Amino acid sequence: MMTVNDSLPGPVIRVQKGDTVYVNVHNHGGYGVTIHWHGVKQPRNPWSDGPEYVTQCPIEPGSNFTYEVIFSKEEGTLWWHAHSDWTRAGVHGAIVVYPKEGTTYPFEEPDGEEVVVLGSWYKADVNKEVEEDLSSGSDTPRSDAYVINGQPGDFCDCSKDFTYRWSVDYGKRYIIRLVNAVMNAEMFFAIGQHNFTVVGMDGAYIKPLVTSFVMIAPGQTMDILVTANQSLGQYYMATRQYDSVKPDVTDYDKVNATAILQYTGNYTDTSAPFFPDTLPIYYDYISAIYFMSHIRSLANEEYPVDVPRNITTFMYITASMGEVDFVNGSDTRIGLASSLNNVSWVNPSTDVLMAYYRNLSGYFTTDFPDWPEKFFNFTADDVPDEYEVAIQGTKVKMLNYNEEVEIVFQGTNVMDASEDHPMHLHGYAFYVVGAGYGNFDNETDPESYNLVDPPEVNTVSLPKKGWTAIRFRASNPGVWLWHCHLDRHYSWGMTTVFIVKNGGTPETSIREPPPYMPPCKDSSLQ
């Protein structure tokens, strides 16, 4: 696997709110790479956002690029990861944003901190595996293990000796910085005998939520307070895949990865570590939904919400897995792909940002549909055949500066395999104002929107056979990617791009590009 500074996960970046960080990336690997600062809004600075062929071309082997990462509004836990092919499997790490000098947390200062990164582990080069699987017509590769801070833990025979351990002192209160860097699964996470309090999500504080487990989607991050108040001993921190599709297995209670929370001090400990019996089983969507629906933003004087109320752009976007008409040269096969409003994204050869900024035509079109072509019962098991076939394209959506946007995402049920889609927007956080099962109803569903204290996040799990409504103000000019954070879906086209136009003054316009951007293959154009 490609890794950063020889470690999996890679180094933690610790900053204070308001800092700007320069990261020099030297590519010593075998293929091109880019890095994305997930959840960092990068005001007016899409040049350092990272997704390949969207805001830059890859940093080729042997070359380097310096990212300028601007921390403006975020506080809490975020993360960074590669945004090229499936390279993020090994190329990722946590980001911790502390309060500005002279300001404090909205809760009592913790005594200690622990970074916990959930990840996927592959025995072989994941990009090669993907290529081979695609050319042989099989599904994308399954990871060989799940890991917590790089280790599968005690339930995986080969790795017992290396199980990750975290020492805690009795009576102290800790903040866990939790990241789901897993490639293709939502995860449950719990700690034996310890309840905890979730106080932050996606780089913003939330109303404290006391719970015995969390459900965390790929891309999401959480800040969790836990007090070491149990008897001296060892306790498992455990994670288990949450399958929104009923999995084809019988061992619903299989444990995917564990680490050990261990009390310091002089005691004899003969028993096995306590396992969290509160960790939900694979297919426990009731627990998953219960948890997600209880997240609320702080919404107080110090942390106000600013939910757009005069929507000027409304979009209805269906996310589906289905067939696509490949337009690639002589390849006329109908294959499996994923899409948004039946458009399956194709990367251009020069990044969208450069093409837009330099006014180069022929790299993308601005006709991403605001609505699907046809309506039917999106959640029925028998979606009409002709609707299953998506088209390929590089279609973007243009937004005027400061437009107030509402998007309703609808999960469709093509091929009987509807599943959750963790939808992620670059350059922004957005308010999740509503969600539900079944088809969105334009008449009645908006009545139940939460405009008072909706969570403000950068990634939201669109429930299988259901809908999610989000709102944001387009106040960050640039070229920003929207995509499902399951790599299986993202790399198959469940993606689109928003271009937010300049606002007319220098302070509301995209910044000048840095003097050096990695060249694209057709670099004569730059």
Which residues have CB under 8 Å from 69's CB, separation 6+? Answer: 20, 21, 22, 23, 37, 40, 42, 48
Of 188, 207, 304, 323, whose CA–CA distance to 257 is shortest? Answer: 188
User: 499 in helix, strand or coil?
Assistant: strand
- 58, 219, 422, 434: which one binds ligand C2O (CB under 6 A): 219
User: 450 in helix, strand or coil?
Assistant: coil
Of 210, 188, 174, 198, whose CA–CA distance to 277 is shortest? Answer: 188
Asked if 196 and 110 touch (Cβ cutoff 8 Å), the reply is no
Give the full edge-to-edge strand order of the sheet including 478-484.
Answer: 396-399, 495-500, 478-484, 421-425, 459-462
User: Minimal CB distance to ligand C2O: which residue?
Assistant: 38
Residue 421 interacts with ligand C2O (CB under 6 A)?
Answer: no
From the CB of 324, what's the least distance to Cu ion, in Å? 15
From the CB of 481, what's the least distance to ligand C2O, in Å? 5
Instruction: Name the residue nearer to ligand C2O (CB basis): 36 or 465.
Output: 36
Q: Which does 424 bind (CB under 5 to 8 A by kind): ligand C2O, Cu ion, none?
A: ligand C2O
Instruction: Name the residue nearer to ligand C2O (CB basis): 342 or 491.
Output: 491
Residue 428 corresponds to which tokens in the numbers above?
A: 């922004």
Which residues have CB under 8 Å from 7's CB, separation 6+? Answer: 150
Q: Per-residue contact track with ligand C2O, 6 to 45, x per CB under 6 A?
A: ------------------------------x-x-------
Q: Which does 29 bind (CB under 5 to 8 A by kind): ligand C2O, Cu ion, none?
A: none
Of 230, 15, 242, whose CA–CA distance to 118 is shortest? Answer: 242
- 46, 51, 422, 455: which one binds ligand C2O (CB under 6 A): 51
From the CB of 229, what's the least distance to ligand C2O, in Å? 34
- 464, 483, 489, 501: which one binds ligand C2O (CB under 6 A): 483
d(C-alpha 154, C-alpha 159), whole Å: 7
Q: Which does 484 bind (CB under 5 to 8 A by kind): Cu ion, ligand C2O, none?
A: Cu ion
- 295, 307, 481, 500: which one binds ligand C2O (CB under 6 A): 481
Taking CB under 6 A as the criterion, which residues in 438-467 touch ligand C2O?
none
Helices (DSSP H) in 442-499: which residue ranges?
487-490
Instruction: Name the residue nearer to ligand C2O (CB basis): 40 or 295.
Output: 40
Instruction: Name the residue nearer to Cu ion (CB basis): 437 or 516.
Output: 437
**C-alpha neighbours within 13 Å on the C-beta side of residue 491:** 19
Q: Per-residue contact track with Cu ion, 411 to 450, x per CB under 5 A?
A: ----------x-----------------------------
d(C-alpha 84, C-alpha 36), whole Å: 9
As to burial, measured by CB atoms within 10 angstroms (0-12 exposed, 13-18 middle, 19+ buried), residue 448 is exposed
Question: Stretches 102-110, 272-280, 480-488, 497-505: which one binds ligand C2O (CB under 6 A)?
Answer: 480-488
How many residues of this chain bind ligand C2O (CB under 6 A)? 11
Which residues are 462's β-sheet partners? 421
Instruction: Name the residue nearer to ligand C2O (CB basis): 159 or 180.
Output: 180
Question: Stretches 172-180, 284-292, 431-439, 481-489: which one binds ligand C2O (CB under 6 A)?
Answer: 481-489
d(C-alpha 224, C-alpha 507), whole Å: 36
- 118, 429, 470, 484: which one binds Cu ion (CB under 5 A): 484
Of 456, 340, 346, whose CA–CA distance to 409 is shortest? Answer: 340
Asked if 152 and 164 touch (Cβ cutoff 8 Å), the reply is no
9 upstream amide cis, omega within 30 of 0: yes
Q: Which does 517 bind (CB under 5 to 8 A by kind): Cu ion, ligand C2O, none?
A: none
- 41, 483, 489, 501: which one binds Cu ion (CB under 5 A): 489
Q: Which does 228 bind (CB under 5 to 8 A by kind): ligand C2O, Cu ion, none?
A: none
From the CB of 38, what's the least distance to ligand C2O, in Å? 4
d(C-alpha 238, C-alpha 126), whole Å: 25
Taking CB under 6 A as the criterion, which residues in 66-95 touch ligand C2O?
81, 83
Which residues have CB under 8 Å from 249's CB, separation 6+? Answer: 282
Look up residue 56 and give its amino acid.
Q
Q: Which does 489 bind (CB under 5 to 8 A by kind): Cu ion, ligand C2O, none?
A: Cu ion
Residue numbers at the binding site for ligand C2O (CB under 6 A): 36, 38, 51, 81, 83, 219, 424, 426, 481, 483, 485
Residue numbers at the binding site for Cu ion (CB under 5 A): 421, 484, 486, 489
